[in-house]
Amino acid sequence: MYPYDRAEEFNKKIKRLGVFEDGGTYLDKFRTLVTQIGNMLGLIRMIKSAGLRYASTISNFIPNTQDIKKFTEISEDYSAFTKESSAVFDKIIESVTKNYTDDTDYFSLLVNTFKGVVSTSESKHLHNFYMIIPALTLNFADSLLIAKDKINKKNVAGMYFTDDGFSLGIAYILRVLD
């Protein structure tokens, strides 16, 4: 259990370390970084969804992509231009079936890539990341309330409605560190 009072005290101690010119603390900067990681993952998910949609649209014109014959084999009796076109078409079909199927999990690919980086001795401090999550969550809630209040005011910088990237960033970092 991590009590609320302890997380609140941690936030106060971080504020004592100093404030940047824009009024943010070190914890604000760290929360922003975690949010950017989450937003990056959201972008990757959107790109994957777009790729899957594109592949499903294309696959309507391709018969069973798993058991299809190579067009280069079929076009051996035809002109060089037909053979070249068949080879290009085979590459496209292979790319669609390989890169845009439901089996391609880019999230797991990213996690596995960063696990290698995080498992080095230079990154041992990151294994204590879970300890800062309650304080980060309080910081996130405070910043969300401040931003909500700014929405009704005109010409105010730093207003936003929601920031789902924070929770996605936390989940991703915990999965990498697991």
pLDDT (mean) for 25-39: 87
Please report which confidence band the pLDDT of residue 62 belongs to, taking 50, 70 and 90 as the band edges.
low
Count of residues for the chain? 178
Residue 9 to residue 11: CA distance in whole angstroms: 5
**Which of 18-22, 98-102, 145-149, 156-160 ranks highest by mean pLDDT?**
18-22
Report pLDDT digits (tens) over 125-175: 877 888 888 888 888 888 888 777 777 777 666 656 665 667 767 776 777
Ranges 74-78, 113-117, 157-161, most confident: 74-78
64 pLDDT tier (thresholds 50, 70, 90): low
**Confidence bin at 84 (pLDDT 50/70/90):** very high
pLDDT tens-digit series, residues 163-173: 566 776 777 67
Six token digits for residue 159: 């207003």
Half-sphere exposure of 168 (CA within 13 A, CB side): 16
Provide the residue ranges of all domains of the chain, joining segments of one domain with +. Answer: 4-57+105-177
